[in-house]
Amino acid sequence: PPFAKRLELMRTIYDLHSHTLESDGTLTPTELVERAARMGVQVLALTDHDVTHGIAEAQQAAAKESGLQLVPGVEISVTWQGRTLHIIGLGVDAENTALVTGLADLRQRRNERGREIGQRLESIGVENAYAGARSYSHGDILSRTHFARFLVDNNYAKDVGRAFKKYLSNGKVGYVHCEWVGLEECIGWINGAGGQAVIAHPGRYAIGSGTMRRLLGEFRDAGGAGIEVVCGNNNSGEIDRFARLANDFGLLASCGSDFHGPEQHWRELGRLTRFPEGCRPVWQDWH
């Protein structure tokens, strides 16, 4: 292609990680797509937690935006070696039976966990915690984020970050372990639904470099496709580290903001650190 066209292709803005109020975001799928288009995003993946209900509306909204392509996705809660990991599925068929059934089961577990979180919070004097958190959930999942918003609005914490730190993080009174789906099974759902599995925000897990290498090896051997090398607010040292790891393990590289809503001003759609050179992007075979 001519030079100008090549430049244009190089500048394509991919944001492959975002949420709506179908999970723990605050925008509707239509609002999300419109905002992404305004921010100059050309390829947007909607990746709500354990639910695909927003995809149809997002597709309709994307059809009205000439410059924006929507990738149907999901961010799946996984338990690996006793820890929670998030695995993104990109380009999934949201109607796929195994995926649909598996996600419904995860949402059921979320609900059971939520009841226990509610009881624990009530045991330290937070009234009506379960019903309160429920009222912040506009979709089909109950997230710790909904508890956090409830706690903030009822003056138990100053902001969502502090609500997590004080009540909801691992080790705090409102933290309840939940056994999510296994890594292999999750990759099976994604691949079975025609998608690509990507490890979300690898820098956010508290795991050492040996364990990280074990994870990447197992992930790749189970059919995983890539890792999120560029996430919303990571630094260039982290990006270089995961770019190298992706190449070492023959994995593709993805990028996404993990946008949840305009309230989190430090994470914006399409606002991503430059994609590193020398990585194979997860979209290399997309057309």
Q: How many angstroms separate the Cα of 91 from the Cα of each of 12, 57, 69, 143, 190?
A: 18, 16, 12, 24, 9
- Which amino acid appears at position 16 of this protein? L
Q: In the complex with ligand AMP, which residue's Cβ is closer, 77 or 257?
A: 77
Chain positions 41 to 100 lying near ligand AMP, rule: CB under 6 A, are 49, 77
Length of the chain: 287
- Report the nearest approach of Mn ion to the CB of residue 181 (Å): 15
Among 164, 167, 219, 259, binds ligand AMP (CB under 6 A): 164
The residue (of 30 and 264) whose beta carbon lies closer to Mn ion is 264
Q: Residue 121: helix, strand or coil by DSSP?
A: helix
Q: Which of residues 14-73 bind Mn ion (CB under 5 A)?
A: 24
CA distances from 177 to 144, 219, 264, 286 (A): 12, 22, 26, 37
Q: Does 228 bind ligand AMP (CB under 6 A)?
A: no
Sign of CA dihedral 99, 242, 265, 16: negative
Using CB under 6 A, which of 22, 24, 48, 238 touches ligand AMP?
24
The smaller minimum CB distance to ligand AMP, of residues 220 and 260, is found at 260
Closest to ligand AMP by CB, 17 vs 220, is: 17
145 binds ligand AMP (CB under 6 A): yes
Closest distance to ligand AMP from the beta carbon of 272 (Å):
17
Is residue 149 near ligand AMP by the rule CB under 6 A?
Answer: no
3-state SS, residue 204: helix
For 118, other C-beta atoms within 10 Å of its C-beta total 23
Minimum distance from CB of 260 to ligand AMP (Å)?
6
CB-based contacts of 68, cutoff 8 Å, min separation 6: 33, 36, 37, 41, 42, 43, 44, 62
Question: In this structure, are strands 69-80 and 14-15 parallel, antiparallel, or unpaired?
Answer: unpaired
- Identify which of residues 25 and 270 has a Cβ nearer to ligand AMP in the complex: 25
Would you count residue 161 as binding ligand AMP (CB under 6 A)? yes
- Residue 258 found at the interface with Mn ion (CB under 5 A): yes
Task: Rule CB under 6 A: choose which of 17, 35, 107, 144 binds ligand AMP.
Answer: 144
Count Cα neighbours of 203 within 13 Å in the Cβ-side half-sphere.
Answer: 17
Stretch that binds ligand AMP, among 127-135, 142-150, 228-236, 275-283 (CB under 6 A): 142-150
Task: In whole angstroms, give the CA distance from residue 254 to residue 231.
Answer: 8
Of Mn ion, ligand AMP, none, which one does residue 164 interact with (CB within 5 to 8 Å by kind)?
ligand AMP
